[in-house]
Amino acid sequence: MDRLYRLAREHGADGGRLLGAGGGGCLLLSVQAGEQAPLRAVLTAAGAHEIPFVPFTAGADATALPLTTREHRRA
């Protein structure tokens, strides 16, 4: 991961963050729009795999809530 981060910084990344290191880890990088394609090529050549994602910017969203009414607690 250190090697990939160093490569990323040398090839246009503004910075980055290591995430989930216990299971192998992911490197989240901040890159200006014009620098993305060259950086992808360098990191792919170094053995990195890209995991595309889209940031969720709408705030928290509850997708499932536990049952809390009295009737449901008795069941």
Q: Where are the domains of the chain?
A: 2-54
Q: How many helices (H) and strands (E) does the chain have?
A: 3, 2
Question: Mean pLDDT over all residues of the chain?
Answer: 83
Band of residue 25 on the pLDDT scale cut at 50, 70, 90 = confident
Average pLDDT over residues 27-47: 93
User: What's the whole-model pTM score?
Assistant: 0.67
Query: Residue 65 pLDDT more than 70?
Result: no
Q: Are strands 26-31 and 13-19 parallel, antiparallel or unpaired?
A: antiparallel
What does the pLDDT average to over 1-13?
93
Structure tokens belonging to residue 51: 């995991």
Q: Is the pLDDT reported for residue 73 higher than 60?
A: no
